[in-house]
Amino acid sequence: MAVRRLSGVLVLMVAAFGQLAGPVHAQEPAGSLAVAVSPRLQFTPDQMALAMAVAGDADLAAFYGDNGLQPVFLGPQGAARRAALHGAVAGMPRHGIPVARYPLPVATAPALTLQAELAHARMAARMLRDLTGGVLSPSRVDPEIKRQPSRNAVPGLLAQFQASEDPATVLAGAAPDHPAYLALQAALNGRADLAVPADLPRIPDGLWRPGMRDPALAALRARLAAIGFEAAAGDAAAYDPILTQAVARYQQAAGLPDDGIAGPRTIAALNGDGGTADDRRTRAILVAMERLRWMAGDDLGRRHVWVNIPEFSTTIIQDGAEAFRTRSVMGKDTPEMRTPEFSEMMANVVVNPSWNVPRSITVRDYLPKLQANRHAVSHLDVVDGSGRVLARDGIDFARYTAANFPFRLRQKPSDDNALGIVKFIFPNRWNIYLHDTPSKHLFANRVRADSNGCIRIGDPVDLAHALLSEQTADPAALFRRALDSGRETWLTLKPAVPVHLVYFTAWPGADGQVRLFDDIYGRDARLWQALEAEGFGPSAM
C-alpha cells in the first residue's frame, strides 16, 4: 500500500490488476482503489478485506472507494437493495440475457457475511456492465467492428442505487432507452411474432401470385391472420390486393424478399417447417439488442446520420424521428472492401470532389494497366507526393511494384468522376465516406454490396440539402453556387453532424414492426456464436 496526503485527508491506494478469460468476453475492468478517509479513521478487518477483494475490479474499487468502504447489501438496511437486485436479475431475460450469468446467493438473513456483500456487488456490477456496454467486446467478435463501448457508467449507477429510496428503478433505468431497443424488447417478449399455431391447416406446396384464385388461399389467409397479418376479404379464394399486401408485410418481417408472391420459401416459413423463420427472428433481435447495448453510453446526437449496412440505407434522424432516407450501396463482401462499423463526426460536404484513388485500388487495378500502356486510364492524373501532376512519358511504370509504387492517382472533378458531384467527409482511419456515383443502376438492386468500402448515396443532392438546412435558409442555392463554380468546394457543416455506420439485421420500421435484413457479411453469425458461448439462446430466455 502507498499512503499520501491530499487536501487534508489521507488517500489509501490499493492497486491490483485482473481480467476475465475467454476470447470475446467484455473485459471486467481492472484498476485501483482510492478511499478518502479521516487521518484518525481506523479500518475494520471487514473493510480491509473488502478493499482487497474489490481492488482488481475498477468499477467496484471506484464505487467502494467513494463510499468509504461501507457495505451496501448487508443487514436490514440492505434488504431493499438485495430484493431489488434479485428482481432485476430475474428480469434479465427481458433484455435477452440469461439469468445464469448472475448466480446470486440465496441468503436473506439480516446479518449477512462479507462474502454475501461481495457476491451481490459483483453480480450488480456485472449486470450493469452488460446493460450499459454489452456482454461482448465488439472487436474481439469481429475485427471489422471498430466500435468501443463506453464502460464507465457502473460506479455512478451503483452510487445512485445505494442512495435511492427506490433502488429497483435505478437498475431498471440502466438499460438503453433508445426507441429501437424498446421495440426490439417488446418483439422479443411479446407473442411469438412469426410462430403460427400448429393446429391450423397447412398451406399446400405451390406458388401463388396476385390475381390468381385457389381454395388453398384460405389456409394462407388463416396463417397470416394468426400472427397479426390480417388479410380479410369477401372472397377467401382470391389473391386480391389485400392478401398481396399482407404477404409482403409478412415477408418483410421474416427477412424474405417482399414481392407479395407466396412462393416456396414464404409457404415453408408460414408452415413452420424447421421453425427457421421464428428462430432466425429471435437470433436477429438478440444480436441487435447486444449491438445497441454497445452504443448505450454514446451520445448519438439530436440530429445524426444513420447508415445501416445490411439495410443498404442512409437516414437522417432528427429529434428521434426519421427526417430523410435514401438507398445506399455498401462495400463488397471481401476482406478488403467490407464497410466497417464505427461512429465519427461529419465535418464537410465537398461539392465537385476530386477522387484521390485509394492506394489499394491504385496498385491492384490500375498499376498493371499502366505497366501495359502508360497512357491507359487517361481519366486519372498521376501525381507526386506534393500533388503535382506528372507527365506520363517520363515515368517507366515497369520499374515499380505494388510495394514501391511512389505516385498517387487522382481524378479531377467531372461528370464521370467516380465520386459524382458530392461527397460527405467524416475523417476516420479507414478512409470511409459517403458519396455520389455515376453508377445509378446499382440502386435498383435488392442486394447492394458493390462498392470498394465507401457508401454510395442514391439521392446525394437531397442529402446535401438536408445536412445544410440548419445553417442556411436556402441550402439548395448554397449547393448550386458551389456546383456551378466547377471547382472543388468544401462546405463546412455547422455544427458537425454525428454519423453512425451500424449493422442491424433486425430493426423496427416507422410502424414499430421489426424487419429483418440479410447478414451480408456474416458478422451477426459470428456475434451469435459468441453469444451462444455465453449461454444465450431461446431456451435460456
Indicate whether 122 and 32 sit together in one domain.
Answer: yes
| Residue 434, helix vs strand vs coil | strand
Q: How far is CA 501 from the centre of its chain?
A: 8
Give the list of residues 6+ apart from residue 318 with CB closer than 8 angstroms, or none: 302, 303
What is the rounded end-to-end Cα distance, in angstroms, of the chain?
A: 44
- Asked whether residue 536 is domain-assigned, the answer is no
Last residue of a domain, one of 373, 392, 411: 411
Please give the DSSP secondary-structure letter assigned to residue 31: E
C-alpha cell at 492: 463546412
Q: For residue 397, name the pLDDT band (cuts at 50, 70, 90).
A: very high
| Residue 486, helix vs strand vs coil | coil
Rounded CA separation 357/432 (Å): 12
- Asked whether residue 461 is domain-assigned, the answer is yes
Asked if the model's pLDDT at residue 11 lies above 50, the reply is no
**Phi/psi class of residue 338: alpha, beta or left (left: φ > 0; alpha: ψ in -120 to 50)?**
beta
Q: What is the 3-state secondary structure (H, E, C) of 107-121?
A: CCCCCCCHHHHHHHH
Indicate whether 401 and 451 sit together in one domain.
Answer: no
- Please indicate whether residue 454 is annotated as part of the active site: yes
Tell me: the pLDDT tens digits for 466-480? Answer: 999 999 999 999 999
Average pLDDT for 415-424: 92
C-alpha cell at 141: 467478435
Asked if the model's pLDDT at residue 41 lies above 70, the reply is no
Asked if the model's pLDDT at residue 19 lies above 50, the reply is no
Give the list of residues 6+ apart from residue 268 with CB closer than 8 angstroms, or none: 274, 276
Asked if the model's pLDDT at residue 100 lies above 50, the reply is yes
Average pLDDT for 438-461: 95
Indicate whether 58 and 25 sit together in one domain.
Answer: yes
Asked if the model's pLDDT at residue 3 lies above 70, the reply is no
Domain count for the chain, please give it. Answer: 3
Indicate whether 70 and 156 sit together in one domain.
Answer: yes
Average pLDDT for 333-350: 96
Tell me: the pLDDT tens digits for 479-521? Answer: 999 999 999 999 999 999 999 999 999 999 887 788 999 999 9
Across the strands, what pairs with 515? 507
What is the structure's pLDDT at 7?
Answer: 28
Rounded CA separation 247/262 (Å): 7
Taking the CA atoms of residue 195, residue 197, residue 201 and residue 203 in that order, the dihedral angle to the nearest 10 degrees is 0
Domain region containing 116 = 2-177
Long-range contacts of 243-249 (CB under 8 A, 24+ apart): 243/210, 243/217, 244/210, 246/221, 247/220, 249/513
C-alpha cell at 488: 472543388
pTM: 0.81
Last residue of a domain, one of 119, 143, 177: 177
What is the structure's pLDDT at 16?
Answer: 33
Q: Residue type at 34?
A: A
CA-nearest of 183, 93, 128 to 536 is 93
Percent residues over pLDDT 70 in the chain? 88
Rounded CA separation 503/311 (Å): 8
- Asked whether residue 539 is domain-assigned, the answer is no
Rounded CA separation 467/472 (Å): 10
| Residue 489, helix vs strand vs coil | strand
Indicate whether 420 and 406 sit together in one domain.
Answer: no
Please give the DSSP secondary-structure letter assigned to residue 271: T
Indicate whether 43 and 142 sit together in one domain.
Answer: yes
Indicate whether 126 and 82 sit together in one domain.
Answer: yes
CA-nearest of 171, 175, 176 to 81 is 171
Q: What are phi and psi of 136, to 5 degrees?
A: -105, 160
Asked if the model's pLDDT at residue 143 lies above 70, the reply is yes
- Asked whether residue 489 is domain-assigned, the answer is yes
Indicate whether 69 and 89 sit together in one domain.
Answer: yes
CA distances from 5 to 32, 39, 43, 199 (A): 17, 9, 17, 75
Indicate whether 31 and 155 sit together in one domain.
Answer: yes
Q: Is the dihedral of CA 263, 266, 271, 276 positive or negative?
A: positive
CATH at residue 435: 2.40.440.10
Asked if the model's pLDDT at residue 214 lies above 50, the reply is yes
Residue written as grid cell 416456396: 264
Give the list of residues 6+ apart from residue 459 with CB closer than 8 angstroms, or none: 326, 327
C-alpha cell at 75: 443487514
Q: Which of these is catalytic: 86, 120, 304, 435?
A: 435
Indicate whether 364 and 478 sit together in one domain.
Answer: no
**From 13-22, 162-171, 187-196, 238-247, the region with the lowest mean pLDDT:** 13-22
Tell me: the pLDDT tens digits for 493-504? Answer: 999 999 999 999
What is the structure's pLDDT at 477?
Answer: 97
- Asked whether residue 456 is domain-assigned, the answer is yes
Is residue 107 within 8 Å of residue 75, measured between CB atoms?
no
- Asked whether residue 523 is domain-assigned, the answer is no
Q: For residue 49, name the pLDDT band (cuts at 50, 70, 90).
A: confident
Tell me: the pLDDT tens digits for 269-309? Answer: 888 775 555 678 889 999 999 999 999 999 999 999 999 99
Does 42 or 131 have the greater pLDDT score? 131
Q: What are phi and psi of 531, to 5 degrees?
A: -65, -40
How many C-alpha atoms does 115 have within 13 Å on its Cβ side?
3
How many C-alpha atoms does 400 have within 13 Å on its Cβ side?
21
Average pLDDT for 376-404: 92
CA distances from 357 to 255, 366, 399 (A): 36, 10, 21
- Asked whether residue 46 is domain-assigned, the answer is yes
Indicate whether 406 and 467 sit together in one domain.
Answer: no
Does 329 or 115 have the greater pLDDT score? 329
Indicate whether 349 and 365 sit together in one domain.
Answer: no
What is the structure's pLDDT at 190?
Answer: 67
Last residue of a domain, one of 138, 161, 177: 177
**How many residues make up the chain in this entry?**
541
Asked if the model's pLDDT at residue 105 lies above 80, the reply is no
What is the structure's pLDDT at 172?
Answer: 93
- Asked whether residue 27 is domain-assigned, the answer is yes
Percent residues over pLDDT 90 in the chain? 65
**From 32-41, 306-315, 402-411, the region with the lowest mean pLDDT:** 32-41
